[in-house]
Structure 1
Amino acid sequence: MSMRIVNLEGESIAASFRKPAIEHEWTEYPLSTADQVVERLAGAQIAVINKVRITAEHLPHLPDLKLIAIAATGTDNIDLAACKEHGVVVSNVRGYAVHTVPEHAILLMMALRRSLLAYVQDVRDGLWAASGNFCLFGHPVGDLHGATLGIFGRGSLGQGVARLAEAFGMRVIYGEHRGASAVREGYTAFEEVVRTADVISLHCPLNDATRGMIGTAELQMMKPTAVLVNTSRGGLVDEQALADALRAGEIAGAGVDVLSKEPPRDGNPLLVPDIPNLIVTPHMAWASDAGMKGVTDQVIENIEAFVAGTPRNRVV
């Protein structure tokens, strides 16, 4: 039986998918919106998606759909309960970003701790050329060595950041869940991590328990010399509270690769140009050449395994 496979978001990955080793018909759209899902997946047994939403309202209109192969790890854009109810398997990709995301997180930490952007701007503004000294000061420069890194999320990405951080001589602590009644062995209480870390790095999934986990109270609890890095999901952080904290000097800096709405067509509190020591990158921490090839390879492997009757990386 030939499988009709529809890739709804071909342009979301800058890498080509190899042809699945099954009898199939492949249709690809550059991008799709939620209101195009039903029309474009009509008659398809397999959907390849990245960030487009598939909801409980879509599935009754897609009786042929058997597999959603998501070209990402996070599944917060899919109604998993509805998929289970309708017998639709969801498979994600895993481990493809174990080098690229940790490297990006460390890059942000180093740039923020060393006030890199501020010094680059000073040079461009002519301050070094006008200096009476051979070097130019004016912004704090902190080492990673000897600093305490608090990591929330102990999956492959959090552990990957920890390995790199320890190589720089950082002390790594893993944060317990916010509001946890007990602290697991090998973890540190949520509030203690927030209060004591010099750098906080977020590597959590976005769900009801983690949404807004870093807000006004947590930012005020952090050291004024601390920096926050988020390469996970934008919704983990109250973005307006973070903008306010940076302007007020409540924390020293922040680096984010993710926003609560992407792309930020309607603006975002973190995209205002007057916020000091803030780095925003466009959700590309995962997008090294090797990382993207890992995504496309796993998607096809997931499809082939499903057709062979042995689904892999199954979420539901």
Structure 2
Amino acid sequence: MRIVALDGYTLNPGDISWAPIEELGELVVHPRTPSDKIIERAAGAHVVLTNKVPLDMSALQALPGLRFVSVLATGYDKVDVAAAGVLGIPVSNVPGYGTDSVAQHVFALLLELCRRTALHDHRIRAGAWTQSPDWCFWDSTQEELTGKTMGIVGFGNTGRRVGRIANALGMNVIAYAPRSRFDPDYRPFEHVGLDELFTSADVVSLHCPLTPETEGLVDARRLASMRPGSYLINTARGPLLDERAVAEALDSGRLAGAGLDVLSQEPPAADNPLLSAKNCLITPHLAWASRTARRTLMDSTAANIRSFIEGTPVNVVNAAHLRTKG
């Protein structure tokens, strides 16, 4: 069994082990693969691992020996899953591996916006505390989360984990999910409509998928409906935001701050308005990437491959398109 990883660096830059997958066959790991090298590097592979390297119909057709694709992520939009299904190639993803990592990153962003710890550390090292006439100082308003309302858009595993952390911090939690069920996981959370969530929350955190219906979800109208001085957190997908409208809301003071781990274009173009917007924290799509989460992702990918080898593939995302490959 020949296994080829097309972009293995982000999963494992050297601080975890490939051993769980190496035990399953001959593993070749390419740290990164440019588009003109995809077919060459995947040639002869029975299993291909990809995170962000695209596998479209033309690439899949050029790989007659390919039997299985395992995506090194939960999202699988970089693979033409319908085409893979027609060709008889099951595609699996890894759901849920980064739930805790992403949820904790939400609060890393939010707490930094509210308390500006990095700013004050920098000011101290620049001599501001030594020069202060008072025994303490602050250069930004210090906000508490207790008593504020957290609005969560998308209430799957990560959204629910964010809700539990928010509740533990003394926040009220309201949530929107279009196909939600009133089950025990909602208590003590309140399920509300989308417009009500934006008008009622002090913090809006996005955890919904990117679909034609959700693209541009946070637009000028919704931003105008938010409470003055509220916060926006996005660890889901960049195109959920109208980025220019968000930048304008930050610069006008309508939003007190935004914490973003994703952008519409990654890396961002130099003219992205969020790069110069006030009180905007941006991290490079790393919310998922704790070492614990990456180890889980490695182990789960190995389990996906093992299940395929045993004839019972799991986490298959293209079952509706799948045809038996002769």
Q: Same fold (TM over 0.5)?
A: yes
Q: Tell me which residue corresponds to 1:166.
A: 167
Rounded to whole Å, the distance in 2 between the matches of 1:57 and 1:307 is 25
Letter in 2 for 1:301: A
Structure 2 residue 280 is matched with structure 1 residue 278: yes
Contact 2:6–2:50 (CA under 8 A) maintained in structure 1:
yes
| Distance verdict in 2 for CA 1:139–1:265, change over 3 Å | closer
Bigger mean CA deviation after superposition, 257-266 or 200-209? 257-266
Rounded to whole Å, the distance in 2 between the matches of 1:230 and 1:9 is 25
Rounded to whole Å, the distance in 1 between the matches of 2:62 and 2:41 is 11
- Equivalent position SS for 2:106: helix
Correspondence list, 1:98-137, <5 A = 98-120=99-121, 122-123=123-124, 126-137=127-138
Letter in 2 for 1:232: A
- Equivalent position SS for 1:260: coil
Return the offset for 1:122: 4.8
Q: Tell me which residue corresponds to 1:294.
A: 296
Contact 2:20–2:298 (CA under 8 A) maintained in structure 1:
no
Rounded to whole Å, the distance in 1 between the matches of 2:146 and 2:139 is 21
Rounded to whole Å, the distance in 2 between the matches of 1:106 and 1:283 is 15
| Distance verdict in 2 for CA 1:151–1:20, change over 3 Å | same
Return the offset for 1:193: 0.6
Where structure 1 has 5 or more consecutive residues not aligned to the other structure, the ranges are none
Correspondence list, 1:55-134, <5 A = 55-120=56-121, 122-123=123-124, 126-134=127-135
Q: 1:304 aligns with which of 298, 303, 306?
A: 306
- Equivalent position SS for 2:222: helix
Q: Tell me which residue corresponds to 1:225.
A: 229
| Distance verdict in 2 for CA 1:115–1:21, change over 3 Å | closer
Rounded to whole Å, the distance in 2 between the matches of 1:121 and 1:194 is 34
Q: Tell me which residue corresponds to 1:254.
A: 258
- Equivalent position SS for 2:107: helix
Rounded to whole Å, the distance in 2 between the matches of 1:45 and 1:83 is 13
Where structure 2 has 5 or more consecutive residues not aligned to the other structure, the ranges are 183-189, 319-326
Aligned pair count?
308
Q: Tell me which residue corresponds to 2:148.
A: 147
Return the offset for 1:121: 5.3
Letter in 1 for 2:44: G
Q: Tell me which residue corresponds to 1:202.
A: 206
Return the offset for 1:129: 4.1
Return the offset for 1:222: 1.3
After superposition, what is the alpha-carbon deviation per residue over 1:6-51, rounded to whole angstroms, capped at 9, x for unaligned? 1001112133322447663222111013332222212222110111
Bigger mean CA deviation after superposition, 32-41 or 261-270? 261-270
Correspondence list, 1:47-62, <5 A = 47-62=48-63
Rounded to whole Å, the distance in 1 between the matches of 2:156 and 2:246 is 25
Rounded to whole Å, the distance in 1 between the matches of 2:226 and 2:138 is 25
Rounded to whole Å, the distance in 1 between the matches of 2:24 and 2:172 is 52
Return the offset for 1:124: 5.3
Letter in 1 for 2:286: M
Q: CA RMSD in A?
A: 2.2
Bigger mean CA deviation after superposition, 45-54 or 116-125? 116-125
After superposition, what is the alpha-carbon deviation per residue over 1:246-297, rounded to whole angstroms, capped at 9, x for unaligned? 111121000011122223365633223xx22211111111211111100111
Quote the sequence identity (%): 40
Return the offset for 1:65: 1.7
Q: 1:234 aligns with which of 218, 231, 238?
A: 238
The TM-score, its normalising length taken from structure 1, stands at 0.89
Regions of 4+ moved over 6 Å: none
Correspondence list, 1:38-49, <5 A = 38-49=39-50
| Distance verdict in 2 for CA 1:266–1:44, change over 3 Å | farther
Rounded to whole Å, the distance in 2 between the matches of 1:12 and 1:112 is 27
